[in-house]
Chains A and B, each alone.
Chain A
Amino acid sequence: MTKRKFGFALPLALAAALILALGVSTGSARTQKKAAALKAAWMYVGPHNDNGWSQAHDKGRLYVQAQLGSKVETTYKELVPEGPQTTQVIESLIRDGNKIIFATSFGFQPAMVAAAKKYPDVKFEMATGTAQSANMAEYFGAGEDGIYLSGMAAGAATKKGVIGYVVPFPIPEIIRHANAFALGAQATHPGARIRLIWTNAWLDLGKEKKAAQSLVAAGADVLGQNVDSPATGQFAESKGVPWVGYDSDAHTFAPKQWLTASIYNWGPYYLRKVKALLNGTWKTNFYYGSLKDGMIGLAPYGPKVSAKTKAAIARKKQALINGKFYEFAGPLYDQKGKLRVPKGKRLTVKDLYAINWLVRGVIGSAKG
């Protein structure tokens, strides 16, 4: 009845009015405070707290914010789909006044290239990409070096010599990572075999878990991954299978089975580039970080890694840093046993960016 209805509506309207008044006041206060800061933005393909790839980048963003304080205002956009929507997100970031945009997934590249042409005054930074221009820089790191070391931990943990590796796309980036992982595992467990399952997605918790299940069913007694989420680790923990992560320290997902992971420390690079923009010295670059400059690192070890393994890994890490060792130096054989890199030769970064064959001992196809 009418009376009852109004009795319900009136407090609601009052509450709404109160809320609005509150909202307006806090809203305007915030805009005034931060008016002078440089605006920098990050775009993620997954959630910012995926405990993997995107989270590593977000840690870098927080590092920039913490170091530069009120001089910079950072933000991010997460779960950004590829295609026209990427363009829309970039446009809205520029509309909001962002002067530098870091895109952290290869699929964003076409939209970034187009935006870089359209907005010469904005700086664009593209992780894992290949298209460099006057206002668009490229950056990545030699994740393969860290992955080689994490592979050594996996090799030391396997008893049957079969390691499962959950991988996203059959592209050179992942193929070189899988190769490095296999070579590392074979360094501590000669003849170890690496079984691959492709998920065809950077982040798909369901598929990742299913892949981990199939790998264990196929005889793997250690799991590794190159995908973004720790779903593999959760499954590994439940089955008591040692696990090597990727991108971020995710030991909390498998406290007993965690071995280690190759991690990215993007913060210093981000800080350098944002600072350069503040000082007016920003320049384009094709940056390839390494263990040496700290962009690549190894996450803290879990309880299952023995002191002996730790020492072996530390020695290899030192050798990688001072250039005495390189995992992609010949002789290297492919899956069929064919010699691909003869003794004395080594693969360059350019070769690695186009690698399309898997090393001996890897079970799976480089075509997916």
Chain B
Amino acid sequence: MRIERRLQQPWWLAVVVPIASLVVAFVLSAVVLLLTGHPPIRSFHRLFDAAFIAHGALSETVVSATPLAFTGLAAAVAFRMNLFNIGGEGQLYGGAITGAIVALLMAGAPSPLVIAGMVAAGAVGGALLAAIPAVLRAFFSTNEIITSLMLNYVVGLVLEYLIFDSHSYLRDTSGFQASVFPQGKSLPSEATWSSWSVHSVALPLGFLLAIGVAVVVWVLYARTRFGFEVQVIADAPRAGRYAGMRTRRKILAVMCLSGAIAGIGGASQDGDFRHQLDPRGLRQANYGYTGIVVAALARYNPLAVVPVALLLGGLQNAGFALQGVDFPNGLVGVMQGLILFCVLGGELFVRYRVRFERGPRVTKSPAPEPTP
């Protein structure tokens, strides 16, 4: 048996492989479920019901998907240039901090202005943080994986410091409630981002922004000279240099763009959902790291990031709906893991094909369908 790269990828593979992957995931999970004494069809029905079908489920999935779309895009933008920005987590915190500061400072101004200010501040906050590993990489060839990863912890501690260990501008210090548990100041009502309802599905502004960002990034990478140069530098850095492309500038630009997107995701957490700087909630959520999974599943294609974020957000939600007395949380994790594993593993069959050989004779068979 041999695995070889496909020279061309037939169009139907992009449809058949994901479906087949889901079927395989279903069969594998069914075995696990049966062994542990749970009804598989009912479990799967509940999983998808809670994620996408039940009344209000899709709105909640969008809530989970919004930050993942931002961090997924942030990762996709950088990874496409082989810049491994693992710092989406910290850049999201950064955007949440700057976004909250601007929201509090601009209290009283017209709401659209405040919201625009928060988006801009979030972008700047994230970009500034990403600029640190970017400069180190561009000028000192430091490994950006390490530096951006380490910065996550630094920003995470700063975030906690602002609310738990100091009387910062962002911390609420008035009232009984605030004396019981440290919390961020409530953001003014002008800083609440709008939300639209389409067929009873609530679409928060942040989610629409994420779609907008995805389109912009796609155009940037597929239709502009900047995008072309980024691809050349990614695939053949030396060729890029001979052609006179400015590698350092591209590294700075791409990392800052990546950080800015994650930062807007942080501002969206403030404005769309939490309405205060919430260090514990943000740190528990791991949006930045999950975003890397989103980007990988989307094969760094910005347009695919949003649907993948919806899938992952839905799975996350459904996990909580499924777990309970007769359904342990670990089993939920196994099901989620199997689905992700199979969908990711299925990718292999899009890009490669398996050839079976027996003896010296090479069998000429049609491209086999994917099997586990």
Residue of A nearest to B55 (CB): A95
Q: Please report the C-alpha to C-alpha distance between residue A219 and residue B54 in the assembled complex, in whole angstroms.
A: 57
Please tell me if the beta carbons of A200 and B164 are within 8 angstroms of each other in the complex. Answer: yes
Please tell me if the beta carbons of B64 and A88 are within 8 angstroms of each other in the complex. Answer: yes
Q: What chain A residues lie within 8 Å of B181 (beta carbons)?
A: 106-107, 169, 171
* A83 touching B273 in the complex, CB below 8 Å, given contacts A75-B325, A130-B180: yes
B235 contacts the other chain (CB 8 A) = no
B371 contacts the other chain (CB 8 A) = yes
Please tell me if the beta carbons of A95 and B56 are within 8 angstroms of each other in the complex. Answer: yes
- Residues of chain A from 1 to 56 with CB closer than 8 A to chain B in the complex: 1-2, 4-5, 8-9, 12, 15-16, 19-20, 22-24, 26-27, 47
Please tell me if the beta carbons of A85 and B371 are within 8 angstroms of each other in the complex. Answer: no
Please tell me if the beta carbons of A353 and B180 are within 8 angstroms of each other in the complex. Answer: yes
Q: Which of B86-94, B237-245, B248-256, B278-286 contacts A (4 or more CB under 8 A)?
A: B278-286
B179 contacts the other chain (CB 8 A) = yes
A314 contacts the other chain (CB 8 A) = no
Please tell me if the beta carbons of A24 and B329 are within 8 angstroms of each other in the complex. Answer: no
B117 contacts the other chain (CB 8 A) = no
Please tell me if the beta carbons of A368 and B165 are within 8 angstroms of each other in the complex. Answer: yes
Q: Please report the C-alpha to C-alpha distance between residue A367 and residue B165 in the assembled complex, in whole angstroms.
A: 6
B63 contacts the other chain (CB 8 A) = yes
Q: What chain B residues lie within 8 Å of A24 (beta carbons)?
A: 39, 41-42
A76 contacts the other chain (CB 8 A) = yes
Q: What chain A residues lie within 8 Å of B316 (beta carbons)?
A: 85
A213 contacts the other chain (CB 8 A) = no
Query: Could you say which of A15, A77, A81 contacts B323, with CB atoms under 8 Å apart?
Result: A77
Please tell me if the beta carbons of B34 and A81 are within 8 angstroms of each other in the complex. Answer: no
Q: Please report the C-alpha to C-alpha distance between residue A9 and residue B20 in the assembled complex, in whole angstroms.
A: 12
What's the nearest-Cβ distance from chain B to residue A16, in Å? Answer: 5
Q: Mark A274-290, 1 if CB is under 8 A from B, else 0.
A: 00000000000000000
What's the nearest-Cβ distance from chain A to residue B123, in Å? Answer: 21
Please tell me if the beta carbons of B179 and A172 are within 8 angstroms of each other in the complex. Answer: yes
What's the nearest-Cβ distance from chain A to residue B165, in Å? Answer: 5
Main secondary structure of the interface of B (DSSP, over half): helix
Q: What chain B residues lie within 8 Å of A15 (beta carbons)?
A: 27, 31
A74 contacts the other chain (CB 8 A) = yes
Residue of B nearest to A16 (CB): B27
Q: Which of B70-78, B140-148, B259-267, B362-370 contacts A (4 or more CB under 8 A)?
A: B362-370
Q: Please report the C-alpha to C-alpha distance between residue A26 and residue B41 in the assembled complex, in whole angstroms.
A: 10
Residue of B nearest to A96 (CB): B321
Query: Could you say which of A20, A92, A170 contacts B321, with CB atoms under 8 Å apart?
Result: A92
Please tell me if the beta carbons of A23 and B41 are within 8 angstroms of each other in the complex. Answer: yes
A80 contacts the other chain (CB 8 A) = yes
Give the residue among A5, A19, A354 with the most B Cβ atoms within 10 A: A19
Query: Could you say which of A2, A26, A74, A89 contacts B325, with CB atoms under 8 Å apart?
Result: A74
Interface pairs (21), CB distance under 8 Å: A1-B356, A19-B40, A23-B34, A23-B38, A23-B39, A26-B42, A27-B39, A80-B320, A81-B284, A82-B278, A83-B269, A83-B273, A83-B282, A84-B64, A85-B320, A95-B56, A106-B181, A107-B281, A130-B177, A171-B181, A368-B164
Enumerate chain A interface residues (CB-CB to B < 8 A).
Answer: 1-2, 4-5, 8-9, 12, 15-16, 19-20, 22-24, 26-27, 47, 74-85, 87-89, 91-92, 95-96, 106-107, 130-131, 169-173, 200, 353-354, 356, 367-368
Enumerate chain B interface residues (CB-CB to A < 8 A).
Answer: 26-27, 30-31, 33-34, 38-43, 50, 54-56, 60, 63-64, 160, 164-165, 176-177, 179-182, 269, 273-274, 278, 280-282, 284-285, 316-317, 320-321, 323-325, 329, 356, 363, 365, 368-369, 371
Known contacts A15-B27, A88-B64; 7 additional CB pairs below 8 A are A15-B31, A19-B33, A76-B325, A106-B180, A107-B280, A169-B164, A354-B176
